[in-house]
Structure 1
Amino acid sequence: MKLVKPKKHLGQHFLKDLQIARDIADTVDLVPELPILEVGPGMGVLTQYLIPKNRPLQVVDLDTESIAYLNETFKELEGKVIEADFLAMDLNELFDGKPFVLIGNYPYNISSQIFFKMLDYKELIPLCSGMIQKEVAERIASKPGKKAYGILSVLIQAWYDVEYLFTVSEDVFNPPPKVKSAVISMKRNKTTDLGCDPKLFKRIVKATFNQRRKTLRNSIKLVLGKNSPITADPIFMKRPEQLSVAEFIDITNRVAKELANT
């Protein structure tokens, strides 16, 4: 079976370092026993270390050539290789609707979309780990007050405990990407209810960070539609990157109350 040719339009960069591959695969051990879904397996550099874990395993890839290679190379995966667009999948249909661990060497061009989908299925995904662009990993793991802190930071950290595990050089890929990579782990925290309207929370986070140079007093008008007495509070003089998840929740409740009174 000939090797799969990396395809630029799919964002494919195949990892060559087997020790790094093993280390990434071992991140699933943080939540043992549950089934595993691998996104973008390519030629199976992670898959080969996931199979021996003896857990239900399915892999999904959009690349027909990769699908053929996996079916030919890994007989253990018979009936478990899915040719599909992960972003378009109904994840409730996997593993009989049971929770599972999500892992992958995620395509850099859609990694943020993958994690937004993870949030949509957060009750099914207690752990998501894998390799992404270093810059995106830094954003997800960033704390308030840092330049990298943004929409992904707040929305993911509201539901997951994030750990930036290690950086990966561009030299261990074929072809080498133009950026460094990083391995990250996101484990569901104990939050079951944010204590606010989650849709309004998401709307406020996006609205304020989309105008991150403005104070909340100005950017929150996009949600309130006007000047409001609540913005006289000193917290609204802050910029979004200065606010913790808890403060965004508090602001969401204040805005919700104001909207209900109009």
Structure 2
Amino acid sequence: MMLRRILLLLILMVGTGTVALQGAHQATFVLRNGDRVSGELTYKGGSDYTLNGRDYPSSDVAVIEFVPGDPPASELQQIPPVDNNPSEHERHVIVGRDGNIIFGKIYKFSPDGEMVTYDQREGGRHEVSTDAVARIYVNPGAARSVFNSVVNGPSPVATSGVSGGNSVTVNGNQPWTDTGLNVQAGDELRFLVGGQIQVAAGNGPDVTANANGNGNFPGSRAKYPVPALPVGGLIGRVGNSAPFPIGASGQQIRMPTRGRLYLGINDDEFGDNSGSFTITIAR
């Protein structure tokens, strides 16, 4: 009788989804935009990886981390600078907790995320416990971009004052410009802006904008990335997050999330724009 009750209870728990997959492995996904998502790694098959029950396309994942902290520059410099490497068995990189680097192609994870099976560059299909793995570079090129400041040394943002000699040029005819800078959520940055752009053909005041934009320019702002800011104003975004106004005030702006910082022009047509802003980023 007791055994039947236990079996019935287990059936009910499975039916209501209250039984978690035993042994699911803790991991962190570092996404292409620099965001980090942590939780229990599981695998359902196919090209998606699952964390806390949510599926992430493998193309969106730069790195799977099994130990905390950024990778060292010496490690990043050894991984390929491209995603989907034409050399199939150099497409992914597995780094052991002992520092050993393995080039290959991920074949699958076990359903509980405890084991990873891969085809090694040197030949053969192998299996390793994720307890022995520090990181798996799913998209090495994206990983090098996310950790650009580690690969190339300190970022251009100074610890205080203005970054010495480091500036970003934002052309008026380009929607977004990569600053080469990775930021953390909550970082407070100042943007010191010089220059001006033209948001239409000509050079008169009616088409000229500083970093605050041109409030006299006619037309709807509905399609601008930041509708509240006039045309031509300086804007920013982190990764693929929502754009935010920067303008010319030079006041500190809090970064909304972690990832690569881009600067852009608040406009929806760029073919007739000209000129540029020069921006120095400071804390």
TM-score (norm 2): 0.27
Q: Choose between structure 1 and 2: higher helix proportion.
A: 1
Highest relative contact order (Cα 8 Å, sep 6+), 1 or 2?
2
Could you say which structure has the larger radius of gyration?
A: 2
Q: Choose between structure 1 and 2: higher strand proportion.
A: 2
TM-score (norm 1): 0.28
